């Protein structure tokens, strides 16, 4: 992992991000995303210098389009933003979760409590 991936992973692991379970280097279809939360269907990508070239950008677009077709949603952050402005990166993730958080399903039949 890159330094920025290590830094962000320290904030996402062990359900630190609003109780959601994130995986790192998660394979989905034929691709691997930096971080992934199954419950939110959210991939978080950190874009460093390896994403700068035209070929890399075309590959990233193709990969993201394919995964979005499967229902995966993306947040992308610049490598430097993660290293130098972690608070705003975390606020952006928290805001995204707040705006896209799944609503709880209906309670189980019988109200979910023991009935006498």
Within 13 A of 112's CA, how many CA atoms are on the CB side? Answer: 4
Question: CA 38 to CA 51: how far, in whole Å?
Answer: 24
pLDDT digit string (tens) for 33-44? 999 999 999 999
Number of domains the chain contains? 1
Indicate whether 47 belongs to any domain: yes
Q: What is the pLDDT of residue 116?
A: 46
Contact status, residue 34 vs residue 46, Cβ threshold 8 Å: yes
pLDDT digit string (tens) for 56-97? 889 999 999 999 999 999 999 999 999 999 999 999 999 999
* Dihedral angle over CA of 13, 21, 63, 59, nearest 10: -10
Q: What is the pLDDT of residue 102?
A: 84
| Three-class SS state of 45 | strand
13 class by beta-carbon count within 10 Å (0-12 exposed, 13-18 middle, 19+ buried): middle
Indicate whether 40 belongs to any domain: yes
Indicate whether 115 belongs to any domain: no
Which are the contacts of 25, defined by CB distance < 8 A and separation ≥ 6?
1, 32, 33, 34
With cut-offs at 50, 70 and 90, classify the pLDDT of residue 109.
low
Indicate whether 97 belongs to any domain: no
Q: What residues make up the domain containing 24?
A: 3-92
Question: CA 76 to CA 116: how far, in whole Å?
Answer: 52
């Amino acid at each position: 992992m890159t330094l920025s991936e290590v830094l962000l992973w320290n904030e996402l692991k062990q359900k630190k991000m609003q109780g959601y379970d994130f995986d790192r280097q998660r394979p989905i279809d034929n691709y691997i995303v930096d971080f992934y939360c199954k419950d939110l269907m959210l991939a978080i990508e950190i874009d460093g210098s390896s994403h700068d070239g035209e070929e890399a950008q075309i590959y990233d677009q193709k990969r993201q389009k394919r995964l979005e077709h499967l229902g995966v949603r993306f947040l992308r952050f610049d490598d430097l933003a993660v290293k130098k402005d972690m608070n705003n990166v975390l606020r952006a993730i928290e805001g995204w979760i707040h705006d896209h958080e799944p609503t709880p399903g209906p309670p189980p039949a019988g109200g979910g409590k023991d009935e006498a």
